[in-house]
Structure 1
Amino acid sequence: MQRFGRYLPAAARFFVFCLLRLGHFRSSCSWRKAGACFLPFLFLSSISFAQTLPPLLIAHVMPTTGRFALHAEADRRGVEMAIEDFGGKILGRDLVLLTRNATTDPAQAAKIAEALITQNHIAFMVGAIDSGVAAAMSAVCQKYGVIFINTNSSSPSEAVENAHRTKFVFDANGANFNKALLKYALDRHPRKRAILLTEDNVWGHSNAAASRGYIERYGGSVVEEVVVPVSLPDPAGLATRIAAMDIDVVAVNLSGNNQIRLFAQIDPALFERQSWVVGEVDWEELYPAPGTPRPLFGTTWAWNLDTPGTAEFVARYRQRYGNTVLDYPGDVTHAAYLAMRALLQAIERAATTHNHAVIRTLETMRWSARERMQHDDAYMDPASHHLQQSVYTATWRHDPANPAAGIKILGHLRPEEARYEGEDATRLESFEETPSYTP
């Protein structure tokens, strides 16, 4: 028995011990006394068993270097704040955050995702920022049944051709924003002549395709599409070229610090002649360059938004991060915070970490406007796994006395108004096609 016991788990060894002791008590004392003797052992065993529950490893995978490094930092802060809301635990298990640099190379990101699942045995994956990276990592997650929370990437393709049963997308996309922005811009110009300025990646082309559809719907015509490398080698030359064009509307689909580099070359007076529309501008693209002009753009939230809960969230953020770069929270932090909260809420409601149960819970979830710090209730679209939420039209008016206050919210669309019709074509894998996974 002594030799055999070495191979038994602690709980099994305790059970065998109890059986042996039970035989002794049957011959030496009453059952009542036996129960009293066993109680301390049972109590200590339950404590020991609870303490051995393994932690849940949550992989936060982002491009932590390069042009999205500031976005990655903002995203991580939102995830951390959400985990703090739950005391760092869910279902009695510690939540441990693993950070990995996905780079902006989809092939490299896929390798990192594979290693995190097969070697680190992560429970869930969150993050992305870059939509090409998100598509690559989410395909790996679907292969194993690991739930992937896309906190912040705004390509329409994430909720259409690159959607998966295990993936949930929490950022609004360029199609949501351009649905309102392009109509506003085209209505100002009788000729309605437009060009597409497209970053040469998954995000850029997907948003440009959606923009083209809306331009045509609103009576405009796309006279040219200018595709630029992700490296944006000559922003000054590009700005000069577009300024010389006989066009009315410029639909800009450039991401990250490419926006800063381009708009730093533009005379704000040009915006009086040409209406430039940027599908989405993140706080992380405004904050480092407060004096750089920006035209009309879309966002999902701003730190100075007058909605319930916003002031409290900003105060909490500033208490923790107020002495750092990005001393105010932006839409990236806001989206990551609420995306991580949604995952933890779903686990709590499902009372299990089994992926199918958590997925079914997430698919039916709704959040009040107060919970979202927005103007409208939000809901997870069960057909596309894309969060349908309020989207805002904004502009940037530089205030030298208070640079952080430059963002101005001009209006908003309700989730039903902003929804991208392309998501009607989304096809998710069935649950039968999705591997069972219980971390």
Structure 2
Amino acid sequence: MTASGPSRRIVVGVGGGIAAYKACSIIRHFTEAGHDVRVIPTRAALEFVGAATFEALSGNPVTPDVFADVEQVPHVRIGQGADLVVVAPATADLMARAASGRADDLLTATLLTARCPVVYAPAMHTEMWEHPATVANVAALRSHGAIVLRPASGRLTGRDSGPGRLPEPTEIGLLGDVLLERPDALPHDMAGVRMLITAGGTREPLDPVRYLGNRSSGKQGYALARAATHRGASVTLIAGATTELAAPAGVEVVPIVTATELADEVGKRAGDADVVIMAAAVADFRPVSVAESKIKKGASGPAPIELDTNPDILRGIVAARDRGELGGTTVIVGFAAETGDASGGVLDHGRAKLARKGCDLLVVNAVGDGKAFGTDDNTGWLLATTGSETALPLGSKTLMASRILDAVGDLLGGSRSH
């Protein structure tokens, strides 16, 4: 990884949980991007990972003690100078102390003096995460302006499994990158919003080993799901073929393969959603018949493949809303992957598609020549039925997701005021 911008000062706080070892990957994420990283563990964290490891990874001295280098006033200066603070793992005890304003070690003192984005990545057993005291502490931290991520679900310490697992270090690092570029990218403004998002490409089988598909990686849809859940939404992600992406923390993932399977799942779930975002790259056509065994090459060359048209899922959802089947205030967002041709440019085709589909917002991407599909960044335009056209400058797909969700939030605010 190379630095994508100027070096920034980042504090990585480490709580005393078994997931403390994963903080090492987060530290490396930021140092390899060229940032100056200061690690502040709690005393309990040093029972899991030694100070020497954190010092080797960050290149800076490590101590939990407010009395080390006291002439530098570290309990004030570190927080004052930080551009981002990431606490991972954020244990129940650490969040309780932070929520109540305690300053009994270097990390909690730093949290009180920081005026930059502060991210807590919780990790604890399910019972601790769901306890009313922790729920209240999370609410308090959010009311103070902190970003508290939802934990992932999965295997915990011992035989336990459930919500409370630390989100993947890569996910935490990506969110940190976005906050360095746009500190207000993850407001907790979508609590109670039910969101349905589709991602990835569909695959239409020709025979047991071959299929018609496309180059979609699913990264943009996953970025939308990740950002939406950390803004408070309850997210269901219907995922087609992806590049083996890890499920975003706190998101229900429903796997599909074909366009008809996608249409079925969207049809079942859209009625319960406040927002539907159709980011999946849906195949336009499917073979009329699927061979039961592998199609052989043959001396006479390939036999013609007869194709049928797949359902227009986006237009179908808009039509269902128009019929009153979804509720008249459901916000619907479509995506258009376009290439220019003799009949018009990318934006021309995007405008025409918005008119045909009737969705509220349409994200238009130019594809081909290494653009959009499979990349970690994205650019394009956001078109609205009101006639507005907003350029989406080149940036990470998580950053683009935050900008799209801002527009969704504006529409939700208008629908909730009626």
Q: After TM superposition, is the score higher than 0.5? A: no
Larger helix fraction of residues = 1
Larger Rg: 1
Higher relative contact order (CA 8 A, sep 6+): 1
Larger strand fraction of residues = 2
TM-score by length of 2: 0.28
